Chains A and B, each alone.
Chain A
Amino acid sequence: MANATLVHEEIIAPRTPKSLLGAKFAVLGVIWLSSALILRGNSTLPLDRSSLTSVHTWLSGLSSAIDRNRNSNPFFVNTIDKIRSSINTFVNLLQDAISQGTATRSVPQIGWLGVVAIIGLVVALWASIRVAILAVAGFITLGLLGLWQESMDTLALTLAAVVLSLLIGIPFGVLAGLFPKFEKLITPVLDFAQVMPTFVYLTPVTLFFLIGPASATIVTLIYSIPPALRITAVAIREVPWSTVEASISMGSTRWQALRKVQLPQAKRTIVVGINQTIMAALSMVTIAALIDAPGLGRVVVQALETLNVGRSFQAGLAIVIMAVVLDRSTTAAAAKVQIATSHKKPVSRRVTRSTKWLGLAITLVAIYLSNVYLWASQFPGAGLLGIKVAAIADSATGWIQLHLVTVTNGLTNIFSYGLINPIQSVLVDAPWYTTAAALVLTGYLLKGTRLAAVVAICIAILLVSGLWSDSMVTLAATLVAALITVVLGIAVGTWVGRSMRVDRILRPILDAGQVMPAFVYLVPFLGLFGATRFTAIMAAVVYASPAAIKLVADGIRSVPESITEAAISAGSNTWQLITKVQLPSARRAIALAINQGLIYVLAMVVVGGLVGAGGLGYLVVAGFAQENLKGKGLAAGVAIVMLGIMIDRITQAVADRRDVHAKTIR
């Protein structure tokens, strides 16, 4: 007993009691807020939109220097240009096949009929006939929307990125699964790639790889390799070690054990990873439109920039259709692999061999026809459906702006004056040093000097970037959107987590919401609220909510039955059960939801720069468009990265800290 007590004291000793920490943060918050209000307007470091600091000019100069030396520097000539031209060749090959004419033909090798037939056949064979029908219908709709070629460009870029992601991600994932040391080495890199708002690596990549398919593909790879790699690593690690041991004990080499034991068992999980890779790639390919990648994304960007709601709806709808088709097909294919490897009864009837040959024959004929005849090559009709969609969206927007203007304006005003403005004005008008000190101290209180140092470095870089004030604008929008997201996440997540029925209804919607490319969320809100900060914030909330809701719901659901039962048996009512048992037990999940919510929201708030959200996102967009603002845009990208790192590190620290108290008992 004495011994046991001793051990416990050792565990408890280094921990600051929770309430004490809470009190420290309360004091810190009060001091920061009051000093911010007293000293408001001092040292706020504002910078006009068109003004440049010496750092910005230096960055512009750097980028011009890179441009100038591109053809003489051996590193560029031998490495970067080689990579660029091989990726370009690969993407062009795919584009020539399905989306664009070549030097000798005015139309692609395979026209719409061929593509539709191939999609139908592939999905029917690997997934199911039902999903194949959905896929065929979806692709035909793309043509009817008048966006066939744009869709094929998007598809070609996505395919190129997916192939490369898997070629890189799977082997490295296997290595990471086999060698924990290697995994430890690359995890920070993957974290970094996934935490960064996708927006920010666009410019730096074009600096090296120029505008064009290569850059579009590479930015996509940055985003789509991590899921492929991570899931492969998990898949390998999941394979029970006993099976590997057994195989080695029978004399197989390590390589044989990998090929014959680990990979086959890992297959079903890896297939799930392919689905995520495809969705990540599609999402990024549409955003790459900002650096002139062809396809549906470009249509959306152009429409957003000209505030053409109808057109943006039309292209947004096409992206949604593409996303649904790709997601359903790969999900169904993954399910089929899982069924095949788990030896359960197949759910759907098996396609007979003769049907397969028939399908193949029809597809070949369709490819031939689409290669030879114009009617089967270019999608017929003038995209009347697309025009109709645009017209409906336009008139709906018009109607809303006419009749619901009080509602939408009211909402905008309530949030603007009640939430966004106060937060923004405190952050923007506070002297930089009070906010900086508060952030560094937060880091220190949470995790000691290391986190404090990370935060301090991020702040220093923010200051050097000369964009402190814009950073505070972005931070304010991010905090507001995250606040709404977290409230929504906890409320809806609790609801979903407590009821299987609600779960069954809402989960497919949440899943669908998560696979949509981020871009399309701007479209409906642009129609509702016009080009305002509020549009960006609402789009961010909708974009981030599914992840937050699912995290909270899973957290609530994973509270052991034994705990809730004991609480009910003690006489808790529903409210007490939720607030005293389920939410506190799920606090780590909630902390993660806050972390994820902030990261997602930051990414989207930045994209909101396209539709008038101001702040850093606007500067990045301006940097794409105007040569003299290029350096400032690069600096804004760096500032966004610093904000992202700070937000991520601090919220992760909160999650880890709470974890200390929340060790689940089994």
Chain B
Amino acid sequence: MNSEIDPTISVHGLWKVYGPNPEKIVGSADAFLPRAELREKTGCTVAVRDVSFDVSDGEVFVVMGLSGSGKSTLVRCLTRLVEPTAGEVWLEGEDIRAASTQRLRELRRSRFSMVFQHFGLLPHRRVTDNVAYGLEINGMSKSARYERAMEVISLVGLEGNENNYPSELSGGMQQRVGLARALASDPDVMFFDEPFSALDPLIRRDMQQEVIRLHHEVKKTMVFITHDLAEALKLGDRIAIMRDGALVQVGTPEELVATPADDYVANFVRDFPKSHILTLRWIARDPTSGEDLGGPILAPTVIVRDAARQILEAGRPVRVMDGERLLGVVTADEILSVIAGPHHG
């Protein structure tokens, strides 16, 4: 990962304050008051508070937080669907906040696209015309845009439905149309604002699978908003946890599960089975002197759940080796403390 060198998305000190005189709040002591107190005092709401992060090319960056924590506002600030109050947003080396309305429209038509929670499909247009909408307003000829629309329609598995109206489709299929529409202009970056929250759990799982598949096929950079931890862990290369407008922790799924930064994050991950996320790297410990170092060898990237049976049945410490290097050993104790919680007393 070389995100420090050339990030696709780079956000520095981003703020969004709703209310009268929002600029006054930015950076002031007031900004750190609890929300209700600040609203009482100034009538303002800090929706995004001093947020900075980078996303590298081809990465799936997930932003997670409770409802009202500012996720939607944050993702809209990135494309200026919501005008930020302060801070910098760079997309592919271009200063988004300095872009003219005209330039912004060009970028929206060609470089990035968004998938919405409530789909936002045009009810009076058939699937094809919904998918082709962005190409149409960009002046593409009818035959060219229909051809492209059919490509993405089959990419998301909607063949045969291209002549239906949105109201004739199920929720899951409607969101496939939303996905196809976002893919149609072949953007570099895709934004998702809780795209699957309105769907039934089973359909949601299908759609998550679909996004993973698409990501493999089209390799877009993605910023994905969700309030669902399982979804975040499943899709995210890195996850940012948001609380009251600020990022409290940014890290890989393993980092979040293994070392939650505070109680808020710990609360999120508490009920999630750690063994499904953690790899052996996180639980390997230094061998104690005289320990048996002749046990089986496993790679540090193996997930605990997948290694559990082998380690429990090994009867002696399993070595975690990164190539030739010994990172540590794992025994039944470590496995059990991941699965059932640490020893007490």
**Measuring CB to CB, which residues of chain A are less than 8 angstroms from any residue of chain B?**
4-5, 8, 11-12, 560, 562-573, 576, 580-581, 584-585, 587, 661-666
A592 to chain B, nearest CB (A): 16
Number of A-B residue pairs having CB atoms within 8 Å of each other in the complex: 97
Separation of A3 and B107 alpha carbons in the complex (Å): 40
Separation of A4 and B164 alpha carbons in the complex (Å): 12
Contacts of B124 in A (CB 8 A): 584-585, 587, 661-662
Contacts of B15 in A (CB 8 A): none
Interface string of B99-116 (1 = CB under 8 A from A): 000000111111001101
B81 located at the interface, meaning its Cβ lies under 8 Å from any Cβ of chain A in the complex: yes
Residues of B293-318 at the interface with A, using a CB-CB cut-off of 8 Å, are: none
25 contacts between A and B (CB under 8 A): A11-B168, A562-B116, A562-B118, A562-B119, A563-B120, A563-B121, A563-B123, A564-B120, A565-B120, A566-B181, A568-B81, A569-B79, A570-B108, A571-B106, A571-B137, A572-B137, A573-B105, A576-B137, A581-B122, A585-B123, A662-B124, A664-B123, A664-B167, A665-B123, A665-B167
B287 to chain A, nearest CB (A): 55
B163 located at the interface, meaning its Cβ lies under 8 Å from any Cβ of chain A in the complex: yes
Separation of A665 and B164 alpha carbons in the complex (Å): 14
Q: When the two chains form their complex, are residues B116 and A566 in contact, meaning their CB atoms are under 8 A apart?
A: yes
Contacts of A572 in B (CB 8 A): 105, 137
Q: A8-B161, A565-B116, A566-B116 are in contact. Are A571 and B105 (CB under 8 A)?
A: yes
Contacts of A562 in B (CB 8 A): 116-120
B67 located at the interface, meaning its Cβ lies under 8 Å from any Cβ of chain A in the complex: no
Q: A5-B161, A570-B109, A585-B123 are in contact. List 20 more A-B contacts (CB 8 A).
A: A563-B121, A563-B122, A564-B120, A565-B120, A566-B116, A566-B178, A569-B108, A569-B114, A570-B134, A570-B137, A572-B105, A576-B137, A662-B123, A663-B123, A663-B165, A663-B167, A664-B123, A665-B119, A665-B166, A666-B118
Question: Closest residue of chain A to B164, judged by CB?
Answer: A8
B160 located at the interface, meaning its Cβ lies under 8 Å from any Cβ of chain A in the complex: yes
Q: When the two chains form their complex, are residues A570 and B133 in contact, meaning their CB atoms are under 8 A apart?
A: yes
Q: When the two chains form their complex, are residues B133 and A567 in contact, meaning their CB atoms are under 8 A apart?
A: yes
8 shortest A-B CB distances, which residue pairs? A566-B120, A571-B109, A571-B108, A663-B167, A562-B118, A570-B134, A562-B120, A571-B105
A287 to chain B, nearest CB (A): 40
In this complex, the member of A5, A571, A580, A662 whose beta carbon has the largest number of chain B beta carbons within 10 angstroms is: A571
Separation of A534 and B109 alpha carbons in the complex (Å): 48
B195 to chain A, nearest CB (A): 12
Separation of A567 and B79 alpha carbons in the complex (Å): 13
Q: Main SS of the interface on chain A?
A: helix
Separation of A12 and B165 alpha carbons in the complex (Å): 9
Interface size class of B (residues with CB under 8 A): 35 or more
Contacts of A12 in B (CB 8 A): 163-164, 168
Separation of A400 and B114 alpha carbons in the complex (Å): 58
A15 to chain B, nearest CB (A): 10
Contacts of A571 in B (CB 8 A): 105-110, 134, 137-138
B170 located at the interface, meaning its Cβ lies under 8 Å from any Cβ of chain A in the complex: yes
Q: When the two chains form their complex, are residues A661 and B116 in contact, meaning their CB atoms are under 8 A apart?
A: no
Question: Closest residue of chain A to B130, judged by CB?
Answer: A566
Separation of A366 and B142 alpha carbons in the complex (Å): 78
Q: When the two chains form their complex, are residues A580 and B167 in contact, meaning their CB atoms are under 8 A apart?
A: no
Separation of A562 and B120 alpha carbons in the complex (Å): 5
Q: When the two chains form their complex, are residues A569 and B122 in contact, meaning their CB atoms are under 8 A apart?
A: no
Question: Closest residue of chain B to A572, judged by CB?
Answer: B137
Contacts of B122 in A (CB 8 A): 563, 567, 580-581, 584-585
Interface string of B77-109 (1 = CB under 8 A from A): 001010000000000000000000000011111
B267 to chain A, nearest CB (A): 30
B174 located at the interface, meaning its Cβ lies under 8 Å from any Cβ of chain A in the complex: yes
User: Looking at the complex, which one of B81, B161, B167 makes contact with A569 (CB distance below 8 Å)?
Assistant: B81
Contacts of A8 in B (CB 8 A): 161, 164, 168-169
Separation of A664 and B181 alpha carbons in the complex (Å): 18
Q: When the two chains form their complex, are residues A570 and B181 in contact, meaning their CB atoms are under 8 A apart?
A: yes
B337 to chain A, nearest CB (A): 45
Question: Closest residue of chain A to B102, judged by CB?
Answer: A573
Separation of A587 and B122 alpha carbons in the complex (Å): 12
Separation of A596 and B161 alpha carbons in the complex (Å): 36
Separation of A4 and B167 alpha carbons in the complex (Å): 13
A664 to chain B, nearest CB (A): 6
Question: Closest residue of chain A to B198, judged by CB?
Answer: A666
Question: Closest residue of chain B to A7, judged by CB?
Answer: B168
Separation of A8 and B109 alpha carbons in the complex (Å): 31
Question: Closest residue of chain A to B109, judged by CB?
Answer: A571
A659 to chain B, nearest CB (A): 10
Question: Closest residue of chain B to A587, judged by CB?
Answer: B124
A569 to chain B, nearest CB (A): 5
Contacts of B165 in A (CB 8 A): 661, 663
Contacts of A11 in B (CB 8 A): 168
Separation of A661 and B109 alpha carbons in the complex (Å): 26
Question: Closest residue of chain B to A570, judged by CB?
Answer: B134
In this complex, the member of B106, B119, B173, B178 whose beta carbon has the largest number of chain A beta carbons within 10 angstroms is: B119
Separation of A534 and B72 alpha carbons in the complex (Å): 54
Contacts of B173 in A (CB 8 A): 4
Q: When the two chains form their complex, are residues B120 and A567 in contact, meaning their CB atoms are under 8 A apart?
A: yes
Contacts of B134 in A (CB 8 A): 570-571
Contacts of B79 in A (CB 8 A): 569
A9 to chain B, nearest CB (A): 10
User: Looking at the complex, which one of B110, B118, B164 makes contact with A560 (CB distance below 8 Å)?
Assistant: B118
Contacts of B125 in A (CB 8 A): 584
Contacts of A569 in B (CB 8 A): 79, 81, 108, 113-114, 116
A269 to chain B, nearest CB (A): 29
Question: Closest residue of chain A to B157, judged by CB?
Answer: A1
Q: When the two chains form their complex, are residues B138 and A665 in contact, meaning their CB atoms are under 8 A apart?
A: no
Contacts of B163 in A (CB 8 A): 12
Q: When the two chains form their complex, are residues A665 and B114 in contact, meaning their CB atoms are under 8 A apart?
A: no
Contacts of B160 in A (CB 8 A): 5
In this complex, the member of A560, A566, A572, A663 whose beta carbon has the largest number of chain B beta carbons within 10 angstroms is: A566
